[in-house]
Amino acid sequence: MKLCFNQATTLNNSNLVKDLEYCEKHGYDYIEIRTMDKLPEYLQDHSIDDLAHYFQTHHIKPLAFNALVFFNNRDQAGHEEIIREFKDMMEMGSKLGVQYVVAVPLVTTDKIRKADIKSSCVEVLRELSDIAKPYGLKIAVEFVGHPQCTVNTFGQAYDIVEAVDRANVGLVLDCFHFHAMGSKPEDLEKADASKIFILHIDDTEDFPIGFLTDDDRVWPGLGAIDLDHILSTLKKNGYSDVVSVELFRPEYYELDAEEAIRTAKETTLQVVSRYFDLQSVVG
C-alpha cells in the first residue's frame, strides 16, 4: 500500500509548495491536491507546467484533485458549472498525471427523496464518466458523514456506484465519514474492493452519530473509530492501493506544517502497518 497526504491536514498553515517539499522529504508517495484553494493559490506564481515538471523530477506524485463539490441534484446553471469545472480538471489532471477526481455529493438543508438523489447521482456520474474516459482519469465519489449531505453512508454511496456501473467510477472510503453517520460494517464486509479507489485515514473524538464535524478529527489511532475493523475488512477483501491521511483539526493548524506532515505519517503508519505493508515508504 502507498501513502498519500491530503492537503486538508495543513489547510491553514501551509501551501502546495511547502506540502510538496515536506511530503517529499518524509517519504510520501502521493498527494491529494485541493482544487478549491491550494491549487489556485499555487497558480498565482506558478504554472501547470511548473507543477508537472516537479512531479516528473520527484518521487511524490499527484493522486487526486480534491474536489468536484456538490455534483448532484443541481439546477441547470449549477450543473453546467460542474461540467465546466470537471472539464478543466481533466485538462490539468492529464498534464499532471492525476489519477482521480474526488466528487462530493450535494450538502443541503432541502429535503430530497433518496430515489431522486440516486437518480441524479447516477445520471451525472455517467456523464462525468463519459467525459473522463479519453483522459484516463477516474471519479472517486466521497460520501460525507453529515445529516445534511445527500449521500452520507457507505451503503448508499456503494449502491449508487453499482448502479452507475462504470469502471472509472468508484468510491472514497473516509473512515471519519464511515463512522460519523453509522455506516454499517456489513456493507463494507460484502463490498467489492475494486470499487474503492481511495482510503482516507483519520480518527475522531467520541461524539454521537449526527453530531460529529470535521473539526472533531484527530490523528489516526487516537480516537473512537474502529479502524482495526475497517482495515482488517479491507485487507480481507483485497484492497491494497492507497491510504491518504486527511484531517481538518483547528489545533493541528497551529503546528508547524512539517511537524504536522511528519506526525500524520507516523500515526498513520502505526495503525495501517498492522494490516498492510508500507515498507516502500521512505524517510
C-alpha cell at position 282: 521512505
pLDDT of 225 above 80: yes
d(CA 272, CA 95): 31
C-alpha cell at position 124: 451525472
Mean pLDDT taken over the chain: 97
Per-residue pLDDT band for 267 (boundaries 50, 70, 90) equals very high
Question: What is the residue-wise DSSP string for 252-270?
Answer: GGGS-HHHHHHHHHHHHHH
* Count, residues in the chain: 283
Q: Closest Cα to residue 3, out of 279, 229, 257?
A: 279
The SS3 call for residue 242 is strand
What's the pLDDT at 280?
Answer: 52
pLDDT of 49 above 90: yes
Average pLDDT over residues 86-90: 98
Q: Are strands 217-218 and 203-204 parallel, antiparallel or unpaired?
A: antiparallel
Element containing residue 198 per DSSP (H, E): strand 196-201
Question: What is the residue-wise DSSP string for 14-27?
Answer: --HHHHHHHHHHTT
Q: Where are the alpha helices (DSSP H) in 5-153?
A: 16-25, 38-42, 48-56, 76-96, 114-132
pLDDT of 38 above 80: yes
C-alpha cell at position 260: 504536522
Per-residue pLDDT band for 220 (boundaries 50, 70, 90) equals very high
Domains in the chain with CATH codes: 2-273 (3.20.20.150)
Average pLDDT over residues 169-182: 98
What is the percent of the chain with per-residue pLDDT over 70, rounded to a whole number?
98
What's the pLDDT at 278?
Answer: 84
d(CA 143, CA 141): 6
pLDDT of 283 above 90: no
Q: Closest Cα to residue 8, out of 53, 38, 43?
A: 38
CA angle 216, 254, 35 (to 5 degrees): 75
141 neighbors 100 (Cβ within 8 angstroms): no
C-alpha cell at position 190: 460484502
